[in-house]
Amino acid sequence: MENISSHKDFILDGFEELGALRPVLFLPFFLMFVVALLANSLLVYVVISQRSLHQPMSILIAGMACVELCLPVFFVPNMLLNFLFDWRGISLIGCLIQMHFIHFFGAFQTTFLVWMALDRYFAICTPLYYHQHMALQRFLRFIVPLVVRNVLIITQFVILAGRRSFCTNVIKHCFCEHMALVELACGSTAINSLAGLIAVFFIPVLDFFIIAASYVVIFSSVLRSSRSGTKALRTCITHIIVLTFSLSLALIAFLSYRIRNGLPAASRVFFSTMYLLFPSCFNPIIYGIRTAEIRQQMLKTLTRWTCFT
């Protein structure tokens, strides 16, 4: 039997269909990267620097902003160099490290929405005991299990991907996405596909059901009570908007690798990139606009910086 030599170096070949127009992609992705860095940095700075924002919900928003700030750092600079200078090479170790951090921080995009939904549940359904439930010592029971879940599941499928032998080394993507690497493996990839599906089910899908259940209870509680539902809608609508955009892009990206429906490779790469990068640009703007306290402090900060310059 002929020995199969596994590749240890890979070529990232996303959007190769564009040919000579490929460098044009540098500008829009660079602008999105800058917006993500500036908007999330501003949001984190405002929450940390303003004592009036040292509340559970504002701290959770700042935590999500930290995730959105870190996530693009692990793949966008390499992608921009790829577009501009045609630097496409990456080692297997580098690919696995990039994959781990991308999916690890990506998992927390919905996990933070779970914690925010729990915050709204306690604030609206049990307002008298809100501060007790949201005390760090008690809220850790909701934080620790989800953090452990994310670490174990993401680490598992990255290790499984790293143990494969690869018969080709051209990754049809701009970064090391899990299934983009796994589809290069020799032989059956059923175990890897199963690990990926488990990750999808137990992280974004499970998070979605937890969030949906929380909002059903919240709105039911408001409708049963004599209180107006305006406050509940105002405090929850932001999370619903963010969740809808994030899960819609993620679902399209995940299904594009598992349903062979003739979707062009460039479209698959685009959706897979957008589900990671777009929320990093979109979320801080939405939270900054729709959360009155944060919006006011951000405007004050920007005004003060403008006066200094």
Res. 113: pLDDT tops 50: yes
Residue 3, in any domain of the structure: no
Q: How far is CA 307 from CA 11, 42, 215, 301, in A?
A: 48, 17, 42, 10
Residue 195, in any domain of the structure: yes
CB 187 within 8 A of CB 168: no
How many domains is the chain partitioned into structurally? 1
The tokens 């879940």 sit on which residue?
A: 149
Residue 4, in any domain of the structure: no
- Looking at residue 93, its pLDDT comes to 94
Long-range contacts of 167-171 (CB under 8 A, 24+ apart): 167/4, 167/6, 167/7, 168/7, 169/7, 169/9, 169/10, 169/11, 170/10, 170/11, 170/13, 171/10, 171/11, 171/12, 171/13, 171/14, 171/95
**Which CATH number is 191's domain given?**
1.20.1070.10
Task: Encode pLDDT of 36-49 as tens digits.
Answer: 999 999 999 999 99
CB 98 within 8 A of CB 76: no
User: In the structure encoding, which two tokens stand for residue 221, read together?
Assistant: 């509680």
Task: Encode pLDDT of 180-238 as tens digits.
Answer: 899 899 888 889 989 988 998 899 889 989 988 998 888 888 777 755 555 556 667 77
pLDDT band of residue 1 (cuts 50, 70, 90) is very low
pLDDT band of residue 251 (cuts 50, 70, 90) is confident
β-strands 89-91, 9-12: how paired? Answer: antiparallel
Show the domain range for 293.
9-308
Residues above pLDDT 90, as percent of the chain: 44
Query: Which residues are CB-contacts of 18 (< 8 A; sequence separation ≥ 6)?
Result: 24, 25, 266
Residue 92, in any domain of the structure: yes
Residue 127, in any domain of the structure: yes
Residue 2, in any domain of the structure: no
